[in-house]
Amino acid sequence: MTQPTPIRRVLGPRPRLLDLFCCQGGAAKGYADAGFDVTGVDTAPQPRYPFRFVQADAVAYVLEHGAEFDVIHASPPCQHDSDCQRLQGNTHPDLIAPTRTALQATGRPWVLEKLVGPVMLCGPMFGVATYRHRYFETGGGLTLPQPHHPPHLVPQAKMGRPIPPGHYGQFVGNFSGVQHARDVMGVPWMNRDGIRECIPPAYTQFIGTTALAFLAAAGLGVAA
Ligand SMILES: C[S@@+](CC[C@H](N)C(=O)[O-])C[C@H]1O[C@@H](n2cnc3c(N)ncnc32)[C@H](O)[C@@H]1O
Count the alpha carbons within 13 Å of 191 in the hemisphere toward its beta carbon.
6
Which one has a higher pLDDT value, 84 or 98? 98
Ligand 1 pocket: which of 43, 113, 128 to mutate (most atoms within 8 A of CB) = 43
- Give me Rg for the CA atoms of the chain: 18
Determine if ligand 1 sits within 6 Å of the CB of residue 30: no
pLDDT surpasses 90 at 9: no
Ligand 1 center to 133 CA (angstroms):
18
Query: What is the pTM (predicted TM-score) of this model?
Result: 0.90
Ligand 1 center to 105 CA (angstroms):
20
Residue pLDDT, tens place only, 15-72: 999 999 999 999 999 999 999 999 999 999 999 999 999 999 999 999 999 999 999 9
Which atom of ligand 1 lies closest to the CA of 190? 9
Domains and their CATH numbers in the chain:
16-148+198-218 (3.40.50.150)
Burial group, residue 197, by CB count within 10 angstroms (0-12, 13-18, 19+): middle
Ligand 1 pocket: which of 17, 18, 21 to mutate (most atoms within 8 A of CB) = 21
Determine if ligand 1 sits within 6 Å of the CB of residue 200: no
Peptide bond into 118 cis (omega under 30): yes
* Residues paired with residue 137 on neighbouring β-strands, in sequence order: 112
Q: What is the C-alpha separation between 49 and 85, in angstroms, rounded?
A: 26
pLDDT in the model for residue 79: 46
Residue 41, H or E segment: strand 37-42
Ligand 1 center to 6 CA (angstroms):
35
Percent of the chain topping pLDDT 90: 79
Sheet of 134-139: strands edge to edge? 52-55, 37-42, 16-20, 71-74, 110-114, 134-139, 119-121
In the chain, the amino acid numbered 212 is L
Per mean pLDDT, which range of 22-31, 160-169, 200-209 is the poorest? 160-169
Ligand 1 center to 42 CA (angstroms):
6
Report yes or no: 184 and 130 within 8 Å, Cβ to Cβ: yes
Q: Beta 119-121 vs 52-55: how paired, if at all? A: unpaired
How distant is the alpha carbon of residue 24 from its chain centre? 11
Ligand 1 center to 20 CA (angstroms):
7
Report yes or no: 111 and 71 within 8 Å, Cβ to Cβ: yes
Ligand 1 center to 215 CA (angstroms):
26
